[in-house]
Chains A and B, each alone.
Chain A
Amino acid sequence: MSKFLQGNYEMAQDSQASEVKKTEQGYSEMFEKQALERLGGSIAFVMKADKFVWDDEEDA
């Protein structure tokens, strides 16, 4: 009985399920990316060289 349950061939269904899972994951990632791209903040933010204020004249 245990030998029978072990199986002796690859079930096609397994690979299909795996494909479905991969596609779902792909959609989920794509969906998440689109979602985050829509959820921007009030104003852009970047910080360079640990400086809070940049004034070209002073930096020159």
Chain B
Amino acid sequence: MDDAPADPTRRRWLAAALGLALGCRRSSSGRRPLTVAAAMSLSEALTAIARDFEGAHPEVELLLDLAGSQALAAQILAGAAVDVFVSADLAQLQRVVDAGLAEAPTTIAANRLVVIAGSEVALAEAADLAAAERKVVLCAPEVPAGAYARAASIASASARPSRRGSSPRRTTSAPSSRRSASARRTLGSSTPPTSGPRRPGACG
């Protein structure tokens, strides 16, 4: 979706601007900076891991660039100075590998699909999502949580026919920039919702 050819001059300016932006984030602590571009959904895990990594490598300052994987891939392809790319979105990572900008990906973790629903909602299997009139909110299809949720929905629908007399399920997509909206009742969320405002873009 963001693969439209760009004017070369414009691309150079964009790359320079992104590089400058990242460069400005580097402190003058004297430590060697290591910039990790990572999907927003990994923010909690990577913040803790970065602390441990810096403890083991005191000469290193780890800088986390957290955003949606699509945006991160676009930044890297435009020339942003990044050292490591971490994502659940293998397609976005593969774009960077195919461009010759990254080494082959290593699988580092996995998670399982869960649904978050009100206590009055009885759910036992994925097919139950279609058993009654309910509003199901999924992440957008272009982000991993949304794609996996749709795959689960399709798998459950093909494994079990719809119950007679049930109302059609209404499914809506949460904007990828609104984790708080999608986390309330989401198939495919990697972490439970917490109280208080959430950072935008976490659905990616």
Partners in one complex: no
Q: Which residues of B contact A (CB under 8 A)?
A: none
Q: Which residues of A contact B (CB under 8 A)?
A: none
